[in-house]
Amino acid sequence: MAKSSVCSNCGNELQPQWLVCKHCHQARWDMITPYFVGGALFVVFGWYSLTQEIPIPSGWNSIFLVMLPILGAIFGVIGVVMLLMGIIAALRGMSVRK
């Protein structure tokens, strides 16, 4: 569906931030795709930051070394939520009859 203010399936007005049409539930793929891409990037960054072993020099403390696993977990949760939103919107959009 192209970026327009009218649904190409039912002809009703589209809400600006919705991933599917409010009336017929047709998917707006131009808005769903960034959720898949962003979610995958967040999950990869979270996984990478949680699995890396950072060598710690003796006698050196850094707030970054403490924050990296916490940020990795937060980014991982954000990524999973974004992926789930994209999957749910895609499944709802695929069930539309034209």
**pLDDT, tens digit (0-9, with 9 covering 90-100), for 42-67:** 999 999 888 877 777 666 667 777 78
Tell me the two tokens of residue 64: 């970054």
Q: Kindly report, residue by residue over 26-41, the tens digit of the pLDDT.
A: 888 888 899 999 999 9
What global pTM score does this model have? 0.76
Residue-range domain boundaries for the chain: 32-52+62-94
80 band by pLDDT with thresholds 50, 70 and 90: very high
In angstroms, the CA 67 to CA 71 distance is 6
**How many angstroms separate the Cα of 24 from the Cα of each of 32, 52, 56, 79, 94?**
16, 46, 56, 28, 11
pLDDT of residue 53: 76
Quick check: helix, strand or coil at residue 96? coil
